[in-house]
Protein backbone atom coordinates (compact mmCIF):
# COMPACT_ATOMS: atom_id res chain seq x y z
CA UNK A 1 0.00 0.00 0.00
CA UNK A 2 1.01 3.59 -0.52
CA UNK A 3 1.50 6.31 2.09
CA UNK A 4 2.25 10.05 1.89
CA UNK A 5 5.60 10.54 3.62
CA UNK A 6 7.36 13.81 4.37
CA UNK A 7 11.17 13.59 4.52
CA UNK A 8 12.04 17.26 4.87
CA UNK A 9 10.61 20.58 3.72
CA UNK A 10 9.32 20.23 0.14
CA UNK A 11 10.38 16.58 0.00
CA UNK A 12 7.06 14.74 -0.03
CA UNK A 13 6.97 11.19 -1.40
CA UNK A 14 4.36 8.60 -2.20
CA UNK A 15 5.98 5.50 -0.72
CA UNK A 16 5.21 1.85 -0.44
CA UNK A 17 4.73 0.73 3.17
CA UNK A 18 3.82 -2.50 4.93
CA UNK A 19 0.19 -3.50 5.52
CA UNK A 20 -0.64 -4.20 9.17
CA UNK A 21 -3.17 -6.64 10.54
CA UNK A 22 -5.87 -5.47 12.97
CA UNK A 23 -5.33 -6.82 16.49
CA UNK A 24 -7.96 -7.29 19.20
CA UNK A 25 -10.27 -4.27 19.37
CA UNK A 26 -8.88 -2.87 16.12
CA UNK A 27 -10.16 -2.52 12.58
CA UNK A 28 -8.52 -2.18 9.21
CA UNK A 29 -9.80 0.83 7.28
CA UNK A 30 -9.59 1.38 3.55
CA UNK A 31 -9.01 5.13 3.52
CA UNK A 32 -11.48 7.21 1.53
CA UNK A 33 -10.71 10.89 2.17
CA UNK A 34 -7.95 12.84 3.89
CA UNK A 35 -8.01 16.59 4.51
CA UNK A 36 -4.77 18.57 4.42
CA UNK A 37 -4.42 20.64 7.60
CA UNK A 38 -2.28 23.64 8.52
CA UNK A 39 0.12 21.42 10.49
CA UNK A 40 0.62 19.11 7.48
CA UNK A 41 1.43 22.23 5.46
CA UNK A 42 3.98 23.41 8.03
CA UNK A 43 5.82 20.10 7.74
CA UNK A 44 5.55 20.24 3.96
CA UNK A 45 6.63 23.85 3.49
CA UNK A 46 9.00 24.38 6.45
CA UNK A 47 9.87 20.95 7.87
CA UNK A 48 8.02 21.79 11.11
CA UNK A 49 6.91 24.78 13.21
CA UNK A 50 8.46 26.54 16.17
CA UNK A 51 10.72 24.07 17.98
CA UNK A 52 8.92 21.06 16.42
CA UNK A 53 11.15 19.81 13.58
CA UNK A 54 11.13 16.67 11.45
CA UNK A 55 13.91 14.37 12.61
CA UNK A 56 12.90 11.30 10.59
CA UNK A 57 10.49 10.55 7.71
CA UNK A 58 6.88 10.76 8.83
CA UNK A 59 3.54 9.81 7.27
CA UNK A 60 1.41 12.97 7.29
CA UNK A 61 -2.30 13.37 7.90
CA UNK A 62 -4.86 13.30 10.70
CA UNK A 63 -8.20 14.32 9.08
CA UNK A 64 -9.40 11.05 7.62
CA UNK A 65 -12.36 8.84 6.86
CA UNK A 66 -12.66 5.43 5.27
CA UNK A 67 -14.48 2.16 4.99
CA UNK A 68 -14.03 -0.73 7.40
CA UNK A 69 -12.25 -3.52 5.52
CA UNK A 70 -11.46 -6.04 8.27
CA UNK A 71 -12.43 -6.52 11.91
CA UNK A 72 -10.03 -7.54 14.67
CA UNK A 73 -11.05 -9.88 17.44
CA UNK A 74 -13.84 -8.65 19.69
CA UNK A 75 -15.09 -5.78 17.50
CA UNK A 76 -18.87 -5.99 17.33
CA UNK A 77 -20.15 -2.45 16.85
CA UNK A 78 -18.69 -1.97 13.35
CA UNK A 79 -19.30 -3.93 10.18
CA UNK A 80 -17.28 -4.41 7.03
CA UNK A 81 -18.15 -1.66 4.57
CA UNK A 82 -19.15 0.95 7.20
CA UNK A 83 -18.03 4.49 6.43
CA UNK A 84 -16.26 5.84 9.52
CA UNK A 85 -14.66 9.10 10.56
CA UNK A 86 -11.42 8.21 12.34
CA UNK A 87 -10.38 10.31 15.31
CA UNK A 88 -6.63 11.01 15.35
CA UNK A 89 -6.82 11.61 19.12
CA UNK A 90 -5.20 8.63 20.85
CA UNK A 91 -4.68 9.39 24.54
CA UNK A 92 -3.28 6.66 26.79
CA UNK A 93 -6.32 6.50 29.08
CA UNK A 94 -4.15 5.98 32.16
CA UNK A 95 -2.10 9.13 32.91
CA UNK A 96 -3.09 11.85 35.40
CA UNK A 97 -4.71 14.04 32.75
CA UNK A 98 -6.61 11.19 31.12
CA UNK A 99 -7.92 10.18 34.55
CA UNK A 100 -8.92 13.79 35.25
CA UNK A 101 -11.06 13.79 32.11
CA UNK A 102 -8.63 15.94 30.12
CA UNK A 103 -7.53 13.43 27.47
CA UNK A 104 -6.45 16.18 25.06
CA UNK A 105 -3.66 16.89 27.58
CA UNK A 106 -2.56 13.25 27.81
CA UNK A 107 1.13 12.87 28.64
CA UNK A 108 1.44 10.06 26.12
CA UNK A 109 -0.84 11.36 23.37
CA UNK A 110 -0.24 9.63 20.05
CA UNK A 111 -1.95 12.12 17.74
CA UNK A 112 -1.52 11.10 14.10
CA UNK A 113 1.14 12.84 12.06
CA UNK A 114 2.94 14.69 14.84
CA UNK A 115 6.67 15.33 15.09
CA UNK A 116 6.33 16.66 18.67
CA UNK A 117 7.54 13.37 20.20
CA UNK A 118 10.47 11.32 18.90
CA UNK A 119 10.10 8.79 17.40
CA UNK A 120 7.44 10.78 15.55
CA UNK A 121 3.83 9.63 15.56
CA UNK A 122 3.14 8.36 12.07
CA UNK A 123 0.05 9.80 10.39
CA UNK A 124 -3.02 8.46 8.64
CA UNK A 125 -2.45 9.35 4.97
CA UNK A 126 -2.09 5.73 3.85
CA UNK A 127 -4.30 3.51 1.75
CA UNK A 128 -4.88 1.10 4.65
CA UNK A 129 -4.99 2.21 8.25
CA UNK A 130 -5.28 0.03 11.35
CA UNK A 131 -7.06 1.91 14.14
CA UNK A 132 -8.85 1.11 17.36
CA UNK A 133 -12.56 0.58 16.90
CA UNK A 134 -13.03 3.20 19.63
CA UNK A 135 -11.45 5.83 17.34
CA UNK A 136 -14.06 5.19 14.66
CA UNK A 137 -17.40 6.99 14.49
CA UNK A 138 -19.92 5.65 12.01
CA UNK A 139 -20.67 8.31 9.42
CA UNK A 140 -23.46 6.87 7.29
CA UNK A 141 -25.31 9.53 5.37
CA UNK A 142 -22.21 11.69 5.00
CA UNK A 143 -19.84 11.82 2.06
CA UNK A 144 -16.31 10.60 2.77
CA UNK A 145 -15.14 14.20 2.43
CA UNK A 146 -17.61 15.45 5.04
CA UNK A 147 -16.64 12.63 7.39
CA UNK A 148 -13.00 13.73 7.08
CA UNK A 149 -14.06 17.23 8.21
CA UNK A 150 -15.05 15.83 11.63
CA UNK A 151 -11.52 16.50 12.89
CA UNK A 152 -11.22 20.25 12.22
CA UNK A 153 -14.88 20.69 13.19
CA UNK A 154 -14.10 19.02 16.53
CA UNK A 155 -11.35 21.58 17.13
CA UNK A 156 -13.92 24.37 16.88
CA UNK A 157 -16.53 22.54 18.98
CA UNK A 158 -13.91 22.18 21.71
CA UNK A 159 -13.13 25.90 21.39
CA UNK A 160 -16.83 26.67 21.65
CA UNK A 161 -16.98 24.69 24.86
CA UNK A 162 -13.94 26.61 26.15
CA UNK A 163 -15.72 29.88 25.30
CA UNK A 164 -18.59 29.05 27.67
CA UNK A 165 -22.14 30.25 27.22
CA UNK A 166 -22.85 31.21 23.61
CA UNK A 167 -26.63 31.78 23.60
CA UNK A 168 -27.38 35.29 22.38
CA UNK A 169 -23.73 36.32 22.35
CA UNK A 170 -22.01 38.64 19.92
CA UNK A 171 -19.02 36.89 18.44
CA UNK A 172 -15.94 38.02 16.53
CA UNK A 173 -13.90 35.51 14.53
CA UNK A 174 -10.45 36.66 13.37
CA UNK A 175 -8.82 34.55 10.65
CA UNK A 176 -11.20 32.85 8.21
CA UNK A 177 -9.34 29.76 7.07
CA UNK A 178 -10.86 26.33 7.74
CA UNK A 179 -10.74 26.72 11.53
CA UNK A 180 -12.19 30.24 11.47
CA UNK A 181 -15.02 29.33 9.13
CA UNK A 182 -15.81 26.16 11.09
CA UNK A 183 -15.81 28.30 14.25
CA UNK A 184 -18.54 30.42 12.66
CA UNK A 185 -20.63 27.28 12.11
CA UNK A 186 -19.95 26.01 15.64
CA UNK A 187 -20.72 29.34 17.32
CA UNK A 188 -23.96 29.70 15.39
CA UNK A 189 -25.06 26.17 16.28
CA UNK A 190 -24.32 26.96 19.94
CA UNK A 191 -26.62 30.00 19.82
CA UNK A 192 -24.51 33.02 18.89
CA UNK A 193 -26.80 35.91 17.98
CA UNK A 194 -24.38 37.90 15.86
CA UNK A 195 -21.16 36.81 14.21
CA UNK A 196 -18.64 39.18 12.64
CA UNK A 197 -15.74 37.65 10.72
CA UNK A 198 -12.43 39.39 10.00
CA UNK A 199 -9.59 38.49 7.67
CA UNK A 200 -7.13 40.13 5.28
CA UNK A 201 -8.47 38.24 2.29
CA UNK A 202 -11.72 39.15 0.56
CA UNK A 203 -11.94 35.59 -0.74
CA UNK A 204 -11.75 34.13 2.80
CA UNK A 205 -14.45 36.58 3.89
CA UNK A 206 -16.65 35.28 1.08
CA UNK A 207 -16.44 31.81 2.63
CA UNK A 208 -17.22 33.32 6.04
CA UNK A 209 -20.41 34.84 4.63
CA UNK A 210 -21.27 31.57 2.87
CA UNK A 211 -21.25 29.72 6.21
CA UNK A 212 -23.32 32.36 7.96
CA UNK A 213 -21.26 35.31 9.20
CA UNK A 214 -23.59 38.30 9.58
CA UNK A 215 -20.93 40.82 8.70
CA UNK A 216 -17.34 40.75 7.51
CA UNK A 217 -14.47 43.15 8.07
CA UNK A 218 -11.38 43.28 5.88
CA UNK A 219 -8.41 43.80 8.19
CA UNK A 220 -6.23 45.14 5.39
CA UNK A 221 -7.94 48.30 6.60
CA UNK A 222 -6.11 48.45 9.93
CA UNK A 223 -8.95 50.46 11.44
CA UNK A 224 -11.59 48.00 10.28
CA UNK A 225 -12.56 46.95 13.81
CA UNK A 226 -12.33 50.44 15.34
CA UNK A 227 -16.10 51.10 15.11
CA UNK A 228 -16.63 47.93 17.18
CA UNK A 229 -14.24 49.20 19.85
CA UNK A 230 -16.30 52.22 20.86
CA UNK A 231 -18.03 52.32 24.25
CA UNK A 232 -15.68 49.70 25.68
CA UNK A 233 -16.27 47.26 22.85
CA UNK A 234 -18.94 45.17 21.16
CA UNK A 235 -18.20 41.45 21.35
CA UNK A 236 -18.66 38.92 24.13
CA UNK A 237 -16.46 36.26 22.56
CA UNK A 238 -13.42 36.34 20.28
CA UNK A 239 -12.34 33.22 18.39
CA UNK A 240 -8.79 34.13 17.42
CA UNK A 241 -7.95 31.77 14.56
CA UNK A 242 -5.21 33.69 12.74
CA UNK A 243 -2.33 33.42 15.18
CA UNK A 244 -1.42 36.94 14.04
CA UNK A 245 -0.72 39.59 16.66
CA UNK A 246 -2.45 42.52 14.89
CA UNK A 247 -5.68 40.50 14.69
CA UNK A 248 -5.54 39.54 18.35
CA UNK A 249 -4.79 43.11 19.45
CA UNK A 250 -7.59 44.58 17.33
CA UNK A 251 -9.93 41.85 18.57
CA UNK A 252 -9.12 42.59 22.20
CA UNK A 253 -9.95 46.27 21.69
CA UNK A 254 -13.32 45.23 20.25
CA UNK A 255 -14.25 42.98 23.20
CA UNK A 256 -16.60 44.19 25.91
CA UNK A 257 -15.70 44.04 29.60
CA UNK A 258 -15.69 40.43 30.87
CA UNK A 259 -15.38 39.19 27.28
CA UNK A 260 -13.71 35.87 26.51
CA UNK A 261 -10.79 35.37 24.13
CA UNK A 262 -10.44 31.83 22.82
CA UNK A 263 -7.04 31.47 21.21
CA UNK A 264 -6.95 28.79 18.50
CA UNK A 265 -4.41 30.19 16.05
CA UNK A 266 -0.85 29.06 16.60
CA UNK A 267 1.47 31.70 15.22
CA UNK A 268 4.21 31.72 17.82
CA UNK A 269 4.52 33.91 20.91
CA UNK A 270 3.28 37.49 20.82
CA UNK A 271 3.10 40.61 22.95
CA UNK A 272 -0.34 41.28 24.42
CA UNK A 273 -2.14 44.50 25.41
CA UNK A 274 -2.16 43.58 29.10
CA UNK A 275 -3.61 46.95 30.09
CA UNK A 276 -6.79 46.29 28.13
CA UNK A 277 -7.00 42.66 29.28
CA UNK A 278 -6.71 43.76 32.89
CA UNK A 279 -8.90 46.87 32.81
CA UNK A 280 -11.70 45.13 30.87
CA UNK A 281 -11.39 41.95 32.98
CA UNK A 282 -11.04 39.79 29.89
CA UNK A 283 -10.59 36.03 30.05
CA UNK A 284 -7.81 34.68 27.84
CA UNK A 285 -8.34 30.98 27.18
CA UNK A 286 -6.29 28.63 25.05
CA UNK A 287 -7.95 25.83 23.11
CA UNK A 288 -6.03 22.80 21.91
CA UNK A 289 -7.32 19.82 19.97
CA UNK A 290 -10.42 17.94 21.28
CA UNK A 291 -11.50 14.50 22.33
CA UNK A 292 -15.15 13.63 22.93
CA UNK A 293 -16.25 16.43 20.59
CA UNK A 294 -15.29 14.19 17.66
CA UNK A 295 -18.43 12.07 17.85
CA UNK A 296 -20.50 15.23 18.33
CA UNK A 297 -19.03 16.67 15.14
CA UNK A 298 -20.15 13.64 13.15
CA UNK A 299 -23.64 13.77 14.71
CA UNK A 300 -24.12 17.47 13.97
CA UNK A 301 -23.20 16.93 10.33
CA UNK A 302 -25.39 13.83 10.03
CA UNK A 303 -28.34 15.71 11.46
CA UNK A 304 -27.88 18.51 8.94
CA UNK A 305 -27.21 20.92 11.81
CA UNK A 306 -23.80 21.90 10.48
CA UNK A 307 -22.98 21.89 6.77
CA UNK A 308 -19.27 21.84 6.00
CA UNK A 309 -19.65 21.13 2.27
CA UNK A 310 -19.10 24.73 1.09
CA UNK A 311 -15.61 24.62 2.64
CA UNK A 312 -14.31 21.61 0.69
CA UNK A 313 -12.87 23.35 -2.35
CA UNK A 314 -10.58 20.70 -3.87
CA UNK A 315 -10.43 16.90 -4.00
CA UNK A 316 -7.47 15.28 -5.77
CA UNK A 317 -6.61 11.61 -6.25
CA UNK A 318 -3.80 10.06 -4.21
CA UNK A 319 -1.54 10.00 -7.29
CA UNK A 320 -1.67 13.82 -7.28
CA UNK A 321 -0.79 14.22 -3.61
CA UNK A 322 2.06 16.62 -4.32
CA UNK A 323 -0.23 18.85 -6.39
CA UNK A 324 -2.81 18.69 -3.59
CA UNK A 325 -0.23 19.99 -1.10
CA UNK A 326 0.71 22.81 -3.48
CA UNK A 327 -2.93 23.80 -3.92
CA UNK A 328 -3.57 23.58 -0.17
CA UNK A 329 -0.57 25.86 0.42
CA UNK A 330 -2.11 28.53 -1.79
CA UNK A 331 -4.76 30.30 0.26
CA UNK A 332 -5.78 32.22 -2.84
CA UNK A 333 -7.11 28.94 -4.25
CA UNK A 334 -7.89 26.55 -1.43
CA UNK A 335 -10.12 26.53 1.62
CA UNK A 336 -10.00 22.81 2.44
CA UNK A 337 -8.16 20.53 0.02
CA UNK A 338 -8.68 16.81 0.42
CA UNK A 339 -7.07 13.74 -1.08
CA UNK A 340 -9.29 10.95 -2.38
CA UNK A 341 -7.61 7.66 -1.45
CA UNK A 342 -10.15 5.44 -3.17
Regarding 106 and contact with Zn ion (CB under 5 A), the answer is yes
For residues 228 and 294, which CB has a smaller minimum distance to Zn ion in the complex?
294
Regarding 78 and contact with Zn ion (CB under 5 A), the answer is no
Q: By the 8 A CB rule, do 71 and 78 touch?
A: yes
Regarding 95 and contact with Zn ion (CB under 5 A), the answer is yes
For residues 122 and 229, which CB has a smaller minimum distance to Zn ion in the complex?
122
CB of 105 to Zn ion, least distance (A): 8
CB of 87 to Zn ion, least distance (A): 11
Q: By the 8 A CB rule, do 299 and 163 touch?
A: no
Which 136-175 positions form the footprint of Zn ion (CB under 5 A)? 152
SS3 66: strand
Stretch binding Zn ion (CB under 5 A), from 46-54, 85-93, 114-122, 213-221: 85-93
Out of 4, 12, 59, 98, name the contact with Zn ion by CB under 5 A.
98
Upstream peptide bond of 119 is cis (omega within 30 degrees of 0): yes
SS3 138: strand
Regarding 262 and contact with Zn ion (CB under 5 A), the answer is no
> Rounded CA gap, 68 and 85, in Å?
10
For residues 106 and 137, which CB has a smaller minimum distance to Zn ion in the complex?
106
Regarding 91 and contact with Zn ion (CB under 5 A), the answer is yes
For residues 153 and 300, which CB has a smaller minimum distance to Zn ion in the complex?
153
Question: Would you call 168 exposed, middle or buried from its count of C-beta atoms within 10 A (0-12, 13-18, 19+)?
Answer: exposed
Regarding 266 and contact with Zn ion (CB under 5 A), the answer is no
Phi/psi class of residue 232: alpha, beta or left (left: φ > 0; alpha: ψ in -120 to 50)?
Answer: left
> Rounded CA gap, 23 and 60, in Å?
23
CB of 167 to Zn ion, least distance (A): 28
Out of 1, 9, 70, 92, name the contact with Zn ion by CB under 5 A.
92
Stretch binding Zn ion (CB under 5 A), from 18-26, 59-67, 197-205, 221-229: 59-67
Residues in the chain: 342
> Rounded CA gap, 283 and 269, in Å?
18
SS3 137: strand
> Rounded CA gap, 247 and 179, in Å?
15
Site string for Zn ion, 21-40 (x = CB under 5 A): ----------------x---
CB of 110 to Zn ion, least distance (A): 10
SS3 325: helix
Regarding 295 and contact with Zn ion (CB under 5 A), the answer is no
Residue ranges binding Zn ion (CB under 5 A):
37, 63, 91-92, 95, 98, 106, 152
Amino acid sequence: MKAIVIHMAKDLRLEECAVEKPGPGEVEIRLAAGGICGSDLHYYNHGGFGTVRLKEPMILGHEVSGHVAALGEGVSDLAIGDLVAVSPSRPCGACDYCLKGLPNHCFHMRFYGSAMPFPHIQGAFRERLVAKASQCVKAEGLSAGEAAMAEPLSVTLHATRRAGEMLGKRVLVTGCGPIGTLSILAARRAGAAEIVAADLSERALGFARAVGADRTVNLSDRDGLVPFSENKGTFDVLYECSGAQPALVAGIQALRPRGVIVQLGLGGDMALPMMAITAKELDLRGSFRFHEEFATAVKLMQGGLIDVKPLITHTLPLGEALKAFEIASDKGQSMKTQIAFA
